[in-house]
Amino acid sequence: MPIVAPSLLASNFLKLEEECRMLNNSDADWFHLDVMDGRFVPNISYGQMIIEFMRTTTKKPFDVHLMIVEPEKYAEEFKKAGADHLIVHYEVCPNLHRNIQQIKSLDMKAGVAINPHTPVSLLTDVLQDIDTVCMMSVNPGYGAQKFIPHTLSKIRELRKLIDNWNLPVLIEVDGGVTLQNAKDIVAAGADVLVAGNTVFQSKNPAATISELRSIEVAKTL
């Protein structure tokens, strides 16, 4: 069964506490929190203060995805706000290993995200040092985009690399995840499904989360 991490970016911010409590009482495993700065991606979302308020609603892990430049300047603040996992983008970290070391030193799990155009092979030198690879299956910045089909090949490639090296690294897929394609995504090798609109636009979000979490398939390479 995959880990399900609903993305709060798609939630109703006028009812944020209600949305958080729904997730807390659902089968959701993690809260996925997208932080955007309007520089790395063409959108601005929310920051540490909102995450700190959300933290009061649940003890479930906070999977914080930084779509920002210079993430090292804010890592400690996000830890204080309640982040359990901190994901930085390969594309904005010229000293990526140093970023990973910083996250680990703050007692958070370290993740690296890669955009649709970024090859999996570029992660080989840091794969043994991280906990999660966040595979972007849309171009980052906005929700409600369609899943890029080539992502399935990238997931298979990364799954093979992780398994060959016997690493405990999770593959997280973020963008365009639906009830229709989730089974193929998990079959390709994904461990974590990030779902925004699929969950929060559902007539029964908790039931949708349960349906995603119940997927069982044999992973294929």
Give catalytic residue positions. Answer: 34, 174
Which of the 8 DSSP states describes residue 28?
-
- The secondary structure of residue 196, as a DSSP letter, is S
Using the CB atoms, write b or e for 127-165: b if 16+ within 10 Å.
bebbbbbbbbbbebbebeeebbeebbebbbbbbebbeee
Q: Phi and psi at residue 150, in whole multiples of 5°?
A: -60, -20
CA distances (Å), origin 21, targets 25, 27, 138, 192, 200: 6, 12, 28, 21, 13
